[in-house]
Structure 1
């Protein structure tokens, strides 16, 4: 192109007089009064004269300035204003940077959004704890679009065979968070934490390596003697454990028992859905012994919970009964008494299986049986729980 490349690098270096010095085709070297030098590209867009800054001579050489000027001229030739193009590019970079949310930020947002729908505070705490322990060290500070399969494998492999249950939960939680991130537009493509059709080709199925570990359950033949020993002890944890066993309940449901849930006249305890594993309200028939224990428990004034905790107005910890068991029967755990109850009911009574399952608040698996057993079979369950109480506290003292 004629009339370009008028300046020489040596001349550009020597120029000190303030003013503008043309290189041709719209490229100018501008020297300020203070002595600083910078490059400008002058062009006409939609009838207006405009100037695009190309940078300081200190950082942009003559050769580089000519390349930038040519790129700007090409845009003008295509009818594009290079200043507007530069602004649009800068805005896109800002938007892209804003979308580079890290996994930890996305996880915290996911938990804040979904936490209110989860069963209880313990479930929320487990989410936060497992992610902090197993996911954040590897992908916590990684931007969502950059998370890939090798990263997921790196954090899962160390626990996949040693802590299979935890590993399965971590994988599922990561998958949920990344799915949500994709829905929000913060990442694209396949989910690297997806199991079916992806990680199932890279890791062994948990069902193949997971050793089924049942909660240690005391033989029902030993229960009368054990309950007699508990009866001789004092303490809120002791009374809570007795009621736990009498009602074949889960720890999480029992420790939160409140005044408004117990109807002494009707002899029933209504466990709200929020404390049930099934997420459904559960009615528990109360035996004479259970009623007697609840009425005898020493209560904290103003505390609606039957089994008061250490903090004012709270209930006992979910570890309180486990700690007690380590002293009175270290080979067993509180949850195991549900298995003890099941063994006793199935082996020593004629109670139908579905009644036992409903007493345990288990979901009935068969669709046909679920449809047939729509009621709570409450009176049959009351008979069963009264028989269980009588077995636990026989009139004749155990030897």
Structure 2
């Protein structure tokens, strides 16, 4: 009587009674109550009985089932459990499929995951724009697992010397995306976009390929005559620019200001942390003219300096265009903060620490930051009053 190959293709087709029907050497046909049939390999492993599904009949024929059972038994002879081997193969297949994610797909996923934590829409747009313009055309369609140093350099080198600031930011964004992909299991190994100990050996430092371009500032001695001209203009952009100068604020801080941030009785403008570059609340003592400018605005608008629509702020370019119309191309709105600092150093005895607080500068020195816990607010009232007095002085000094 045969101990193997007990079944035939005809007998397998005809079987309808539920149960297990052996073919020999651990191969069985399992017939379910509903009539479906499947192949099973039964074996002992470390004293434990195991069953391994091989596939359904008739998709898997009797001949094919015998071949699969043979391969399973051969694995056992090599000391390998066929079920464990199959599970490992499936896991590897899933991992390889995950690594098939393209760099562009990972970049978009990274932006989607982090955009809510970025402070403003301009920052979000810059993230997308630099990737779309410079990285995606080169490595966007490639598997994120395939991105290596040569490919990163292929993205960066064409703009490293001509656009060092953009290139440096792009490098950091590529590095962040690749770190994210590794944490997700989409790639392995070191990050080819890291700077320290890697790309710093292949590319010149940003500071060596370009001179830092500071925001061009009006000389503080010319400020009184400029302010006299500015004050004569009636446009809301002129009022916003004057307010920005008098408060030493950044453009975005002024444009994003909403009425409830102002306590005109206490003469305070409180800018919430979410709108500040350093993510810390900033209090600004308001001088007389700053309070007057806020009082001139229509408070039924969402923003203190509204644009054309009720729910929109003044354009991000409005003050710069106003400035260009008055003095031509060259000066920047941000440059007035430099003029404020120069005036403070050259004309007054106010300490640098107070000037830095007025400008909401981040303190990089940890020791200094530990001691600077207050915001010198009462003393800064006098500082801003003196700044207004100088801005509106009759004669340039």
TM-score interval, smaller chain: 0.7 to 0.9
- When normalised by structure 1's length, the TM-score is 0.79
Distance 1:45 1:352, change over 3 A: farther
1:95 CA displacement: 4.9
- Report matched runs for 1:18-97 at 5 Å: 44=24, 46-48=26-28, 74-75=74-75, 89=89, 92-97=92-97
Which of 296, 319, 323 is matched with 2:317 structurally?
319
Contact 2:98 / 2:186 at 8 angstroms: preserved in 1? no
Number of aligned pairs?
A: 349
- Structure 2 match to 1:156: 156
Partners of 2:311 and 2:81 lie apart in 1 by: 69
Distance 1:364 1:253, change over 3 A: same
1:371 CA displacement: 3.0
Contact 1:45 / 1:81 at 8 angstroms: preserved in 2? no
Contact 2:259 / 2:299 at 8 angstroms: preserved in 1? no
Alpha-carbon deviations, 1:169-195, whole Å to 9, x = none? Answer: 111111111111111111101111011
Q: Structure 1 residue 248 and structure 2 residue 251: aligned?
A: no
Contact 1:359 / 1:381 at 8 angstroms: preserved in 2? yes
Structure 2: tracts of 5 or more residues without a match: 10-22, 30-38, 41-53, 56-66
Partners of 2:321 and 2:128 lie apart in 1 by: 25
Cα RMSD over matched residues? 3.1
Partners of 1:375 and 1:368 lie apart in 2 by: 14
Q: Structure 1 residue 236 and structure 2 residue 216: aligned?
A: no
- When normalised by structure 2's length, the TM-score is 0.79
Contact 2:26 / 2:69 at 8 angstroms: preserved in 1? no
SS at match of 2:283: strand
- Structure 2 match to 1:145: 145
- Structure 1 match to 2:378: 379
- Structure 2 match to 1:10: none
Contact 2:130 / 2:170 at 8 angstroms: preserved in 1? yes
Alpha-carbon deviations, 1:340-391, whole Å to 9, x = none? Answer: 1111111000111111111111123433433333211111111111011011
Contact 1:325 / 1:334 at 8 angstroms: preserved in 2? yes
- Structure 2 match to 1:349: 348
SS at match of 2:169: helix
* Moved >6 Å (runs of 4+): 67-73, 79-88
SS at match of 1:307: coil
Contact 1:300 / 1:308 at 8 angstroms: preserved in 2? no
